[in-house]
Chains A and B, each alone.
Chain A
Amino acid sequence: MSPASAPPPAPASWRRHEARLAWAFVLPALGLVATVAVFPIAWTVWESLHLHDLRMPWLGRPFVGVANYVEAAGDRRLWSAVGHTGLFAVLTVSLELTGGLVLALGLDRLRRAAGLVRTAVLLPWALPTVVAALIWRFIFESPAGLATAMATRAGLEAPTWFADAVAAWVPLVLADVWKTTPFVAILLLAGLQAIDPALSEAAAVDGAGPWRRFTGITLPLLRPALLVACLFRTLDALRVFDLVYVMTGGGPGTATEPIALYTFSTLLQNLRFGFGAALSVLVFVAAFGLASLAIRVMGGDAFLERRS
Chain B
Amino acid sequence: MRRRAWGWTAVTAALVAALLGPLYWAVLSSLTPEPRLFAAPGLVPRALVLTHYRALFEDHDFWVPVANSLIVAGTTTVVSVVLGALCAYATARLRFRGKAPILAFVLAVSMFPQIAIVSPLYMVLRAAGLLNTYPGLVLPYLSFAMPLTIWLLDGYFRQLPLDLEEAALVDGAGRLRTLKEIVLPLAWPGLATTAILTFLYSWNEFLFALSFTLGPERYTVPVAIALFRGQYQVPWGQILAGAVVATVPVAAVVMVAQRRITAGLTSGAVKG
The interface stretch among B19-27, B48-56, B181-189 is: B19-27
The yes or no answer to A215 lying at the interface (CB within 8 A) is no
Minimum C-beta distance from B137 to chain A (A): 11
Task: Collect the chain B residues with CB atoms within 8 Å of residue A127's CB.
Answer: 204, 246-247, 250
Name the one of A120, A232, A238 contacting B272, with C-beta atoms under 8 angstroms.
A232
Assembly CA distance A283 to B122 (angstroms): 18
Minimum C-beta distance from A60 to chain B (A): 15
Given A106-B15, A120-B19, A238-B113, CB of A28 within 8 Å of CB of B83: yes
B96 touches A19 (CB 8 A): yes
The yes or no answer to A210 lying at the interface (CB within 8 A) is yes
B94 touches A22 (CB 8 A): yes
- Size range of the interface on A? 35 or more
Task: Collect the chain B residues with CB atoms within 8 Å of residue A120's CB.
Answer: 16, 19-20
Given A18-B94, A33-B147, CB of A122 within 8 Å of CB of B258: yes
A residues near B (Cβ < 8 Å) are 7-8, 15, 18-19, 21-23, 25-26, 28-30, 32-33, 35-41, 43-44, 47, 99, 102-103, 105-107, 109-110, 115, 117-131, 133-136, 138-139, 141, 144-146, 149, 178, 180-184, 186-187, 189-190, 210, 228, 232-233, 235-236, 238-239, 241-242, 245-246, 260, 263-264, 267-268, 273, 276-277, 280-281, 283-284, 287-288, 291, 303-304, 306-308
Assembly CA distance A141 to B254 (angstroms): 29
B116 touches A284 (CB 8 A): yes
Task: Collect the chain A residues with CB atoms within 8 Å of residue B119's CB.
Answer: 44, 47, 267-268, 273, 276-277, 280
Task: Collect the chain B residues with CB atoms within 8 Å of residue A41's CB.
Answer: 112, 116-117, 120
The yes or no answer to B190 lying at the interface (CB within 8 A) is no
The yes or no answer to B167 lying at the interface (CB within 8 A) is no
B271 touches A235 (CB 8 A): yes
Task: Collect the chain B residues with CB atoms within 8 Å of residue A264's CB.
Answer: 115, 118, 207, 211
Contact with A along B206-233 (1 / 0, CB 8 A): 1100110000000001110110000000
A33 touches B109 (CB 8 A): yes
Task: Collect the chain A residues with CB atoms within 8 Å of residue B83's CB.
Answer: 28-29, 32
Task: Collect the chain A residues with CB atoms within 8 Å of residue B40's CB.
Answer: 149
B206 touches A44 (CB 8 A): no
Contact with A along B2-41 (1 / 0, CB 8 A): 0011001101100110111011011001000000001111
Given A28-B86, A131-B225, CB of A19 within 8 Å of CB of B95: yes
B207 touches A134 (CB 8 A): no
B113 touches A107 (CB 8 A): no
Minimum C-beta distance from B35 to chain A (A): 11
Given A40-B120, A141-B38, A291-B111, CB of A178 within 8 Å of CB of B22: yes
Assembly CA distance A43 to B206 (angstroms): 22
B118 touches A283 (CB 8 A): no
Task: Collect the chain B residues with CB atoms within 8 Å of residue A186's CB.
Answer: 262, 265-266
